[in-house]
């Protein structure tokens, strides 16, 4: 029998409204242009479609820019430019390619504050996250892959790496600039050229990035960026000049891409959805675990494919964890993404907000118990309060479907075997978390959990040298590390 945990009820200092935070808005200019064209062959190019669409800031619902809508002819032009640039770029010595990547990384650092503000305005995430996570890690990926560019001979000992050719890349809206770095950096390090499509709701920082490519002196055609919605992405996927497609996004779209490319010789890597289990054992340090739970689900408003959206708690400490978690949630600040005090910013789009509301409604209909702290949501923009459901079973939609929002589902377990069974009872397999004081239990659980990335006594830690990716309906292939690099090369 495990020793009983001493009762240590959570205490809270109540000050009412005596000490309210003063607003701390970020004032750095974002330098967002009123209109962005396409970036093809090293220069800004008006779309052949002669159409643009509005980019809306989720923080206040206002239009911030117009984005070019690329059609098939525009995608053709982008691939033609990439194909023309490939022979010279692939023949460029690795040390020289690395210099370009180093320049890009340094330029991102030099303009990090500007880009962080633009990312927050365009995507809705808190400025603290854009400033302290997205921009530093994006630059780190370019630095890391710059180091690989002249060392490819050591990536596969005894073999030689060769570039694939022109790579088509499609990135999501939750980490626009970071996903761009994850995709472009390894492709260029290996000598490939790129046609990239950002998400239609978050294209601004990708288009601003084009000025960094120009300032770095990257040869025309090596990177081309086309903007648009689903039809543009489909044209990127289907284009015959693509040697590989790299996609990060939803599982249904990933399945469509895999079906579309079946029977072709195109390579494919997919980083798709997730429904991660964050597992708390009775011997865990509860206060530390609560902070990890909050970070795991409320970081970036839950717009994270590896979010710890299923919390599995051992029954003996479930009540304590729930009480402390509710107390912690009462202190989360929801509001203006540009305010440095904000913990949870705006939902990325009205469409995503409606999806979150629908799934939360299903949790209520199916009998789960909801908790939302009292918080005043801004009157303009797209916002949703941090939410948790207790009394959740595996049959509930909120325990099975990816919500992609600030919503946590709590389940309980008695034994490690039950925790493994519940954690693996999902079509996804991207990530998981383990909270325990026993190193042997961490190793045992990690071997049994069907997930590509497993954190122990922490959550949402990323490093360019560490591969990221999943199994099952979470996709295949890796981003980052030597493994991610090899996905952009032929081993000959």
Averaged pLDDT, 280-304:
98
Catalytic residue among 129, 200, 271, 473: 271
Beta strands 63-68 and 52-56 are antiparallel
Does 336 score more than 80 pLDDT?
A: yes
Question: Which alpha helices (H) appear in 127-250, and where do they start and end?
Answer: 127-129, 135-148, 176-189, 204-215, 230-238
Phi and psi for 487 in degrees, rounded to 5?
Answer: -70, -5
Averaged pLDDT, 266-287:
98
Q: Work out the angle at residue 487's Cα, subtended by the Cα atoms of residues 454 and 87, and round it to the nearest 5 degrees.
A: 155
Sign of CA dihedral 67, 174, 453, 397: negative
Q: Which CATH class is domain 35-272+474-491?
A: alpha beta
Does 144 score more than 90 pLDDT?
A: yes
Averaged pLDDT, 133-158:
96
CB-CB contact of 201 with 173 (8 Å) = yes
* 305 given a catalytic annotation: yes
For 75-107, write each residue's pLDDT tens digit. Answer: 999 999 999 999 999 999 999 999 999 999 999
What pLDDT does 20 receive? 75
Please state, as a whole number, how many other Cβ atoms lie within 10 Å of the Cβ of residue 8: 10
What pLDDT does 22 receive? 85
> Which residues have a Cβ under 8 Å from the Cβ of 110 and sit 6 or more positions away?
none
Phi and psi for 308 in degrees, rounded to 5?
Answer: -80, 70
Classify 455 as helix, strand or coil: strand
CA gap 206, 225 in Å, rounded: 8
Angle between helix 251-261 and 230-238 (nearest 10): 30
For 26-49, write each residue's pLDDT tens digit. Answer: 999 999 999 999 999 999 999 999
Say which DSSP state 331 is in. Answer: T
Please state, as a whole number, how many other Cβ atoms lie within 10 Å of the Cβ of residue 380: 12
Question: If you search the block for the tokens 């397999």, which residue do you land on?
Answer: 429
> Which residues have a Cβ under 8 Å from the Cβ of 351 and sit 6 or more positions away?
none
Averaged pLDDT, 228-251:
98
Does 316 score more than 60 pLDDT?
A: yes
CA gap 165, 168 in Å, rounded: 10
CA gap 34, 55 in Å, rounded: 10
What pLDDT does 486 receive? 97
Sign of CA dihedral 309, 314, 319, 321: negative
Measured in whole angstroms, the distance separating CA 86 from the mean position of its chain's CA atoms is 29
Averaged pLDDT, 6-22:
63
- Of all residues in the chain, the percent with pLDDT exceeding 90 is 94
Which run of H or of E encompasses 314?
strand 310-314
Q: Which CATH class is domain 277-456?
A: alpha beta
What pLDDT does 1 receive? 47
What pLDDT does 434 receive? 98
Does 5 score more than 60 pLDDT?
A: no
What pLDDT does 476 receive? 97
- Of all residues in the chain, the percent with pLDDT exceeding 70 is 96
Averaged pLDDT, 163-183:
98
Catalytic residue among 210, 305, 401, 402: 305
Averaged pLDDT, 304-332:
97
Averaged pLDDT, 41-63:
98
How high does pLDDT run on average in the chain? 96
Band (21; pLDDT cuts 50, 70, 90): confident
CA gap 128, 126 in Å, rounded: 5
Nearest to 37 by CA among 78, 82, 9: 78
CA gap 489, 152 in Å, rounded: 10
**CATH 3.40.309.10 domain residues, the chain:** 277-456
Say which DSSP state 49 is in. Answer: T
Does 345 score more than 90 pLDDT?
A: yes
Please tell me whether the overall predicted TM-score, pTM, comes out greater than 0.85 for this model.
yes
Please state, as a whole number, how many other Cβ atoms lie within 10 Å of the Cβ of residue 389: 23
Averaged pLDDT, 258-270:
97
**CATH 3.40.605.10 domain residues, the chain:** 35-272+474-491
Averaged pLDDT, 3-12:
56
């Amino acid at each position: 029998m495990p020793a009983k945990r001493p009762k240590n009820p959570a205490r809270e200092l109540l000050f009412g409204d005596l000490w309210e935070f003063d607003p701390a808005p970020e004032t750095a200019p974002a330098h967002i242009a009123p209109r962005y064209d396409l970036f093809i062959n090293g220069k800004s190019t008006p779309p052949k479609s002669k159409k643009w669409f509005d980019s809306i800031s989720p923080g206040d619902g206002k239009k911030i820019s117009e984005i070019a809508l690329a059609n098939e002819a525009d995608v053709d032009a982008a691939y033609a430019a990439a194909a023309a640039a490939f022979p010279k770029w692939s023949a460029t010595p690795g040390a020289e390619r690395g210099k370009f990547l180093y320049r890009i990384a340094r330029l991102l650092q030099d303009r990090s504050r500007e880009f962080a503000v633009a990312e927050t305005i365009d995507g809705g995430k808190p400025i603290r996250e854009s400033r302290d996570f997205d921009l530093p890690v994006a630059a780190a990926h370019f630095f890391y892959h710059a180091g690989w560019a002249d060392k490819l001979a050591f990536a596969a000992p005894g073999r030689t790496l060769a570039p694939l050719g022109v790579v088509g890349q499609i990135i999501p809206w939750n980490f626009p600039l970071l996903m761009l770095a994850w995709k472009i950096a390894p492709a260029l390090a290996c000598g490939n050229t790129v046609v990239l499509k950002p998400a239609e709701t978050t294209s601004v920082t990708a288009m601003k990035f084009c000025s960094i490519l120009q300032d770095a002196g990257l040869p025309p055609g090596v990177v081309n960026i086309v903007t648009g919605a689903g039809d543009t992405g489909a044209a990127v996927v289907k284009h015959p000049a693509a040697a590989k497609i790299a996609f990060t996004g939803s599982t249904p779209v990933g399945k469509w891409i895999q079906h579309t490319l079946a029977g072709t010789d195109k390579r494919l890597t997919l980083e798709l959805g997730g429904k991660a289990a964050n597992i708390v054992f009775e011997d865990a340090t509860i206060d530390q675990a609560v902070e990890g739970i909050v970070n795991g689900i409320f970081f970036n408003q839950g717009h994270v494919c590896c979010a710890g959206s299923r919390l599995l708690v051992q029954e003996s400490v479930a009540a304590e964890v729930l009480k402390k978690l509710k107390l912690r949630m009462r202190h989360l600040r929801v509001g203006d993404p540009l305010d440095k005090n904000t913990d949870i910013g705006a939902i990325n789009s009205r469409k995503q907000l409606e999806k979150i509301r629908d799934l939360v409604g299903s949790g209520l209909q199916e009998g789960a118990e909801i908790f939302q702290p009292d918080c005043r949501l801004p009157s303009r923009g797209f916002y949703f309060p941090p939410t948790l459901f207790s009394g959740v079973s595996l049959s509930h939609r909120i325990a099975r479907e990816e919500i992609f929002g600030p919503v946590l589902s709590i389940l309980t377990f008695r034994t490690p075997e039950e925790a493994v069974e519940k954690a693996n009872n999902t079509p996804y397999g991207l990530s998981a978390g383990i909270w325990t004081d026993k190193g042997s239990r961490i190793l045992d659980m990690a071997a049994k959990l069907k997930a590509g990335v497993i954190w122990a006594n922490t959550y949402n830690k990323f490093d360019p040298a560490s591969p990221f990716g999943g199994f099952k309906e979470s996709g295949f292939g890796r981003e980052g590390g030597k493994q991610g690099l090899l996905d952009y090369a032929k081993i000959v």
